[in-house]
Amino acid sequence: MNNAPEITTSMPKRLESPEFWVEHIPFVFYLIPQLKPSVIVELGTHSGNSFFAFCQATKENNIPIKCYAVDTWRGDKHAGYYSEAVYQDVLKHKNEYYKDSAVLLRMTFNEALSIFPGKSIDLINIDGLHTYEAIKHDFENWLPKLSNHGTVLIHDTQIKMKDFGVWKFWTEVSKQYPSFEFHHGCGLGVLAIGNNVPTSILKFIEEANKSNQYSNLFKEQGQLVYRQYKKLQLKRNIKKIPRLPLIIIRRLKMLLS
């Protein structure tokens, strides 16, 4: 494990339902100081676990940044449809912790395209509608916006049910660029697309494809974050239970401590 990447021990400040992205937050904390992006765009934010991980990582590494979250905050057939409360909670967290660095763009991905000049985005995280046609459309539309450092993350590469087609698109696009796929946490694909992606990232991709020690390391760290998420969810659910007997409260506090 001597060549394994260093992973920060920071815990995410934001862990909300749904849980699908939380296991990849340790990789975000590794990736951001390597890439040192100036502009990050996330396509599909929902409750903000991944988006605020990007914001936290850039802040903790003193990287001047603008992080853009593009979402209608209405949901879709894969994520489910949700209430205005989800957006308001994301907005509150953004204003509390990342007022100057984070920007919420409440619109469709297509509507947001014109906001960004060509070759201006260093990192794009794609997590929108998961059909093959949708992910292909999103990727091809935003590809010209990538800078020379351009790196792309694609979530849900391991989901193969119903009309989910990210996995199919990944099998195609991963052959065109230096790439690596994490299989845990529903799958996360990493693409190094720009012609000047930092050497450390290219080296990581090369080494990770040779040895599973890298994926295992991030999987282990991701499971720690996931356990923290489950603890927080349990605490939140306990607060919703009226008049819980004192002895049960004490036992639960012991379990969660």
If 0-12 CB within 10 Å is exposed, 13-18 middle and 19+ buried, where does residue 168 land? middle
Question: Measured between alpha carbons, how far apart are the two ends of the chain, in Å?
Answer: 31
Q: Are 188 and 23 in contact (CB under 8 A)?
A: no
SS3 106: strand
Encoded tokens for 185: 């946490």
CATH of 22-223, one of 3.40.30.10, 4.10.1240.10, 3.40.50.1970, 3.40.50.150: 3.40.50.150
Q: pLDDT tens across 164-209, in order?
A: 999 999 999 999 999 999 999 999 999 999 999 999 999 999 999 9
SS3 161: coil
What is the reported pTM? 0.90
If 0-12 CB within 10 Å is exposed, 13-18 middle and 19+ buried, where does residue 92 land? exposed
Other CB atoms within 10 Å distance of the CB of residue 113: 14
pLDDT of residue 227: 94
Q: Which amino acid is at 29?
A: F
Q: pLDDT tens across 45-55, in order?
A: 999 999 999 99
Q: pLDDT tens across 107-152, in order?
A: 999 999 999 999 999 999 999 999 999 999 999 999 999 999 999 9
Residue 9 has pLDDT above 80, yes or no: no
Rounded CA-CA distance 202/199 in Å is 5
Rounded CA-CA distance 61/246 in Å is 43
| Region at 187 (left for phi over 0; alpha for psi -120 to 50; beta for the rest) | left
pLDDT of residue 250: 66
